[in-house]
Amino acid sequence: MTLDVKDMELAETAVVIDYFYSSSIEQLDLMGIDPTRLPTRPVWSSLFKSLYETPITERAALLVTWRLDGRPIGFSSCDRIVFGNRAHMHLHITDPELRGRGLGTECVRRSIDLYFQRLQLKQLFCEPNAYNVAPNRALQKAGFRYLKTYKTVPGPMNYHQAVTRWMIER
């Protein structure tokens, strides 16, 4: 079993779009996603194309792909990037059959290393839906420190919800 975590290439970003559009209403709700706020596929593709044309020091986001034995099993993304300082990460195991097996924790650990190196970070935050147990466990096991639970609208695709704020520093 070979696990590979690396920068996502532009050609691979369809995995992100397909993941959200193929997720059930229940899965989207667990992530705090409002399906009516998803960008259309063409708009999302265009946003990714523009993102990948931007130098890494100025990017609004950085995406990482997770592969197991050569096949994609998930991804992570970072946004709210202040290069050389801090960013916020997101994590997704796209294959439902692989959830709950500890792979997310190892993928998160490797993603942390990549984010700190590529973005020259001092702090990395993650704020999953407070009721979504799996990412909260994975973050804790990967070395993140619990900061607080509070209500907010975490991003443009989300509704108002309780989130758990985690942080890791280096």
CATH superfamily of 3-169: Gcn5-related N-acetyltransferase (GNAT) (3.40.630.30)
Q: What is the pLDDT of residues 83-104, one digit of tens each?
A: 999 999 999 999 888 887 888 9
Looking at per-residue confidence, does 115 or 1 come out higher? Answer: 115
Residue 133 has pLDDT above 90, yes or no: yes
Position 100 scores a pLDDT of: 78
Position 98 scores a pLDDT of: 84
Q: If DSSP states are collapsed to H, E and C, what string results for the chain?
A: CCEEEEECCHHHCHHHHHHHHHCCHHHHHHHCECHHHCCCHHHHHHHHHHHHCCCHHHCCEEEEEEEECCEEEEEEEEEEEECCCEEEEEEEECCHHHCCCCHHHHHHHHHHHHHHHHHCCCEEEECCECCCHHHHHHHHHCCCEEEEEEEECCCCCECCEEEEEEEEEC
Q: What is the pLDDT of residues 14-31, one digit of tens each?
A: 999 999 999 999 999 999
pTM: 0.94
Position 95 scores a pLDDT of: 87
Position 97 scores a pLDDT of: 84
Residue 1 has pLDDT above 90, yes or no: no
Q: What is the pLDDT of residues 137-161, one digit of tens each?
A: 999 999 999 999 999 999 999 999 9
Residues 6+ apart with CB under 8 A from 108: 76, 89, 91, 138, 139, 142
Q: Can you tell me the distance from the alpha carbon of 33 to that of 17, in angstroms, rounded to the nearest whole number?
A: 13
User: By the 8 A CB rule, do 73 and 3 touch?
Assistant: no
Position 102 scores a pLDDT of: 82
Position 32 scores a pLDDT of: 95
Q: Between β-strands 86-93 and 123-126, what pairing exists: parallel, antiparallel or unpaired?
A: parallel
Q: Beta-carbon neighbour count of residue 87 at 10 Å?
A: 23
Q: What is the pLDDT of residues 39-77, one digit of tens each?
A: 999 999 999 999 999 999 999 999 999 999 999 999 999
User: By the 8 A CB rule, do 75 and 65 touch?
Assistant: yes
CA 114 centroid distance within chain: 13
User: By the 8 A CB rule, do 109 and 66 touch?
Assistant: no
